[in-house]
Amino acid sequence: MSGRTPTVCPYCAVGCGFYITPNGMEYMQDHPVNEGSLCPKGNAALDVLNHVERLRYPMMRVGDDWIRVSWSEALDRVAEEMLRALREGGPGALAFLGSAKCTNEENYIFQKIARLMGTNSIDNSARRCHSPTIIALREMLGTPATTNPISDLALSDCIFVIGSNLAENHPVVARWILRAKDRGAAVIVADPRVTPTAWLADIHLQLNPGTDIALINCMIHVILSEGLEDRSFIRERTRGFEELDVSDYTPEMVSSMTGLGAGDIIR
């Protein structure tokens, strides 16, 4: 259909798709992530375009005031200031800040411009929240990103959610978990709060704040003590298992830390 432009929702990392049309928005029924559905944030993604306070043209600060300028004047001013910074301070005088509201492609072009100008001072607003997970994911999985499609959740037999309130933050992901539940999957949520994600759970482990790692260590302790581990997987796909020591994390000890019953942890 003419007049439809496919795009990616700018509100989170799930990557839902929809079409922008002359009249607003149209759902993308064949998108592999959201299959035409959008969460409330996605449904409101275009509201900013029609907002009465939307900035519709470039503004330049002059003293304490802002004045309207043309696009050519604004772009010329940006180019002049960048060239001046290069002349006076070299590439080190420039820094570029990308945005999580942009698509990957837009951020890619943005960093290419920065490198063309000779600087490696490129950052993104998402780094502050994502940098700790990058370190952990790279160390554990070899890559700091999802390694399987979100739709795979629907094929799971058991889903364990810890440190996440995805039903509120990424509602489309919750749809795939509900599909797994429809197939009979068990959903376990560990969270001190009773969140919308906890509402989805068959088992809600309402642990004390800050005791997530103790709970995980105890679960490993139970798995090993009951011989539930997959030895061939550990031998072929992991490193450092022989250095793992969770002998102190007994259900009884961790129960006093987490506030959970020892039997619930074992279950």
CATH classification of the domain holding 211: 3.40.228.10
Question: Are residues 168 and 199 in contact, defined by beta-carbon separation less than 8 angstroms?
Answer: no
Q: Is 133 within the bounds of a domain? A: no
Query: For the segment 116-163, what is each residue's pLDDT rounded down to a tens digit?
Result: 999 989 998 777 777 888 888 888 888 887 788 899 999 999 999 998
Same domain, 162 and 259: yes
Domain boundary among 68, 103, 121: 121
Q: Which domain holds residue 88?
A: 59-121
Same domain, 15 and 75: no
Same domain, 77 and 165: no
Same domain, 193 and 158: yes
Q: How far apart are CA 182 and CA 30, in angstroms?
A: 22
pTM: 0.76
Same domain, 41 and 69: no
Give the number of other CB atoms < 10 A from CB of residue 256.
11
Strands 186-190 and 158-162: parallel
Same domain, 159 and 102: no
Question: The CATH number of the domain where 21 resides is what?
Answer: 2.20.25
Separation in Å, CA 166 to CA 125, 171, 195, 196: 21, 6, 9, 8
What is the arithmetic mean of pLDDT over 45-51? 84
Same domain, 45 and 74: no
Buried b (16+ CB within 10 A) or exposed e, 189-203: bbbbeebebbebbee
| pLDDT at residue 130, as a whole number | 79
**Containing H/E element for 21?**
strand 17-21
Q: Is 28 within the bounds of a domain? A: yes
DSSP 93: G
Backbone φ, ψ for residue 171 (5° rounding): -55, -30
| pLDDT at residue 2, as a whole number | 63
Question: Are residues 56 and 188 in contact, defined by beta-carbon separation less than 8 angstroms?
Answer: no
How does the average pLDDT of the chain come out, rounded?
A: 92
What is the arithmetic mean of pLDDT over 17-21? 93
* Portion of the chain with pLDDT greater than 90, in percent: 71
| pLDDT band for position 23 (cuts 50, 70, 90) | confident
Q: Is residue 35's pLDDT more than 80?
A: yes
The total number of structural domains that make up the chain = 3
Of 80-94, 128-142, 168-182, which gets the smallest average pLDDT? Answer: 128-142
| pLDDT at residue 202, as a whole number | 95
Q: Is 167 within the bounds of a domain? A: yes
Strands 186-190 and 96-98: unpaired
Query: For the segment 214-263, what is each residue's pLDDT rounded down to a tens digit?
Result: 999 999 999 999 999 999 999 999 889 999 999 999 999 999 999 999 99
Strand partners, 203: 188
| pLDDT at residue 105, as a whole number | 87
Smallest CA-to-CA distance from 114 within 82, 143, 161 is with: 82
Amino acid occupying residue 216: I
Q: Is 22 within the bounds of a domain? A: yes
Same domain, 71 and 158: no
Q: Is residue 1's pLDDT more than 70?
A: no
Q: Is 169 within the bounds of a domain? A: yes
* Portion of the chain with pLDDT greater than 70, in percent: 99
Smallest CA-to-CA distance from 18 within 40, 39, 38 is with: 38
Same domain, 159 and 243: yes
The CA-CA-CA angle for residues 41, 42, 48, to 5°, reads 75
Same domain, 156 and 232: yes
What is the arithmetic mean of pLDDT over 194-199? 96
Q: Is residue 166's pLDDT more than 90?
A: yes
Same domain, 187 and 209: yes
Backbone φ, ψ for residue 92 (5° rounding): -65, -15
Q: Is 130 within the bounds of a domain? A: no
Q: Is 89 within the bounds of a domain? A: yes
Question: Are residues 66 and 60 in contact, defined by beta-carbon separation less than 8 angstroms?
Answer: yes
Name 236's Cβ contacts closer than 8 Å, sequence gap at least 6: none
Q: Is 142 within the bounds of a domain? A: no
Same domain, 103 and 78: yes
